[in-house]
Amino acid sequence: MTSVATYLRLPADHPNAAPIADEIEQFVIRQGWQRAASFRDLSGTDAASTLISAMRSHLYSAVVVHRVDHLFRSLHAFCVCMLELDLSTFRFVALADGIDTAAPSTIAEIVAAFANVERSAHREASLRAMARAQRHGARIGRPPARFPVARALRMRERGLSIESIAAELGISAATVSRRLADLSKPLS
């Protein structure tokens, strides 16, 4: 019977921790494997390093994780580890990433999956950083267009068209139209 280790890097109180742990466990059961160890990284622990060392020591014949970037901090670290292992006798599965070293149909699919993992990790890190910045009062995104209200109103009073005002101010006609319409709305 295959001796497998599972790995999860989410705090126990994270809303997705239980469903993800259950998904990993159900996969192990469907494969008919015996779970020899379960590693869980909580803040301040180093279960990832312990598991990677165990993988290199061939203590398990398979490792199942939810996502590659939960166990490995970079694509380079993952590739180095996989190169060190004998993939003819060792199986690595990342459920959410669709990676299973037992059945790689093509190298291109594996590389594409790695690229997707890396892209997802960067996107999530960016979203977390933007959310943190917003919580601290930073404005995210393009700055609002500067709109010279008084000048635009004077131009409109002189009878200039929206397009003429836009051309002279160097902004779009849609912006001029929208901002002038906003000014004419009564305050409630």
At 56 the pLDDT is: 81
pLDDT of residue 12: 65
Element housing 64 (H / E): strand 62-65
Question: Region 67-78: what's the mean pLDDT?
Answer: 78
The answer to whether the beta carbons of residues 1 and 60 sit under 8 Å apart is: no
Q: Which of 58, 118, 125 is nearest to 94 (CA)?
A: 118
Average confidence score pLDDT of the chain: 82
Highest-confidence range of 5-14, 47-56, 118-127, 132-141, by mean pLDDT?
132-141
HSE toward the beta carbon, residue 17, CA cutoff 13 A: 11
The Cα 28–Cα 117 span in angstroms is 22
- pLDDT higher than threshold 70 for residue 1: no
Residue 166 is predicted with a pLDDT of: 92
pLDDT digits (tens, 9 = 90+) for 5-26: 998 887 667 777 888 889 999 9
Mean pLDDT of 143-166: 88
pLDDT at 90: 80
Place of tokens 């159900």: 26
What's residue 52's pLDDT?
Answer: 83
Q: Is the pLDDT of residue 135 over 70?
A: yes
- pLDDT, greater one: 95 or 42: 95
pLDDT in tens, 40-66: 876 656 788 888 888 888 888 889 998
